[in-house]
Chain A
Amino acid sequence: MLDVSGLECVRGDRRLFKDICFSLRPGALLQVHGPNGSGKTSLLRMLCGLVAPAHGDIQWQGSSIRAMGEEYFRAVTYLGHLPAVKDDLSALENLLISAELSGIQLSEEKAIVALRRMGLGGREMLPAKVLSQGQRRRVALARLLVAGTTLWILDEPLTALDSAAVQLMQTIMEEHLRKGGMVILTTHQELSVPGVTTQRLELAP
């Protein structure tokens, strides 16, 4: 489980937020809300360990994530604004390479199954540069299906997705949460995952 206490973010000489406290239990979903520029992305980057907080502490299973170092990344998958998809590689290569670098054993068959589920059947071998924005996003989201991590931190995961894909994402998140996973996400769309504890965090402008 994830415990966050007294988190503060300073960007330049501006304080984006302070005293953020929450804890997330297995099977819980946290939605972060707030207007543009309120520090949603900064908060998520802090939670995944890319940015050090100005104050406060983030604890995963009782130990500080700073002290855990690379071990923490075994439990977390972060998807940011950028899809992290290489234009010159095919969808399949993108997925296989990112899995291998993350230390996940992934066979080609399983990768193809994940891409098909994301609606990319028949496009696995195309270079990512010919895919549309939404399709690239789907390649990025396919990473969630193969990652096997507990905590998903998703920054605007529904951008550029059509309504069928938004539906699919909800189903995927629901499955993950039922298995005891945790999800933290920012979105401007109202998202309802039935039968799941949903926590909300408002960031003031």
Chain B
Amino acid sequence: MSDAGMFAILRCAIRRDLVLAMRRRADVLTTLFFFVIVVSLFPLGVGPEVNLLRSMGPGVVWVAALLASMLSLGRLFSGDHRDGTLEQMLLTPQPLPLLVFGKVVAHWLSSGVPLVFMAPVLGMQFGLSQDAVLVLMATLLLGTPVLSMIGAIGAALTLGLRGGGVLVSLLVLPLYIPVLIFGAGAVEASASGLGAQAHMSLLGAFLVASLLLAPWATAAALRISME
């Protein structure tokens, strides 16, 4: 297939899922509010100790981002599975990893990107400095697509299983750990004057690896789940 054709198919797959997300805005907003509320609970529970809040802020935001991303994984394939459109996607003459890639990109745009833009507001609750907030946003921008990519593998493997929601968290959360460590670590490293570059490079490496591998793994998992 020509490159132009591949690009058109990818664009169609992304546009389809974004249109569907727009028509079901409630689902997207639920995830976002979940993220905001979980993060906001910590200052209320821990108390107004500025130094304590400042040191735990990045970690809390990142843990909440992991949970919010996992919460939205259910949307990725199960709706299409239920109404049969996923089956039809498996039967199109397009490479399945390409369609999967399009779906995951749309998922990230509708569930990951809003988290990035919410981060400055939440950072204020923890008294994070402007620099720390910028680093936090940059790590989320690099890290949330990795979460969507890894999560897609788990969502595809647990497709159609009873209690799949719990199972997917057991499968996926351990794989999120490296992203969490380097995402939250970057903010601390930059605050302590070490610079966040090493952490950022590692996050970038995770991103590249997941972009290269996850669509193929997810496509294979989907074919197994749909048998």
Contacts and interface: CB of A to CB of B under 8 A. Distances in A.
Given A83-B83, A103-B9, 9 more contacts: A82-B87, A84-B84, A84-B88, A86-B20, A88-B23, A89-B20, A93-B19, A101-B94, A102-B94
Interface string B4-43: 0100110011001001100110000000000000000000
Q: Which of B5, B84, B226 has the most CB of A within 10 A?
A: B84
Contact of A70 (B82, B83, B93): B93
27 contacts: A51-B227, A52-B227, A70-B92, A71-B93, A74-B93, A76-B91, A78-B88, A78-B91, A80-B84, A81-B84, A82-B82, A82-B83, A82-B87, A84-B84, A84-B87, A86-B83, A88-B19, A88-B23, A88-B24, A97-B16, A101-B12, A101-B16, A101-B88, A101-B99, A102-B92, A102-B93, A102-B94
A35 B42 CA distance: 60
A87 interface: yes
Contacts of B92: 70, 73, 101-103
A113 to B, nearest CB: 21
Contacts of B95: 70
B67 to A, nearest CB: 26
Interface string B207-227: 000000000000000000011
A146 to B, nearest CB: 14
Interface of B: 5, 8-9, 12-13, 16, 19-20, 23-24, 82-85, 87-95, 99, 226-227
Closest 6 CB pairs of A and B: A82-B84, A84-B84, A88-B23, A73-B93, A74-B93, A84-B88
Main secondary structure of the interface of B (DSSP, over half): helix
B12 A84 contact: no
Given A48-B91, A103-B5, A84 B83 contact: yes
Main secondary structure of the interface of A (DSSP, over half): loop
Interface in A49-107: 49-52, 70-71, 73-74, 76, 78, 80-89, 93, 97-98, 100-103
Nearest to B8: A100
Q: Which of B13, B82, B85 has the most CB of A within 10 A?
A: B85
Contact of B93 (A78, A97, A103): A103
B117 to A, nearest CB: 25
Given A82-B83, A87-B83, A103 B94 contact: yes
A73 B91 contact: yes
A50 B94 CA distance: 15
B226 A50 contact: yes
A69 B24 CA distance: 34
A49 B223 CA distance: 10
B12 A100 contact: yes
Contacts of B94: 70, 101-103
Contacts of A103: 5, 9, 92-94
A50 B83 CA distance: 16
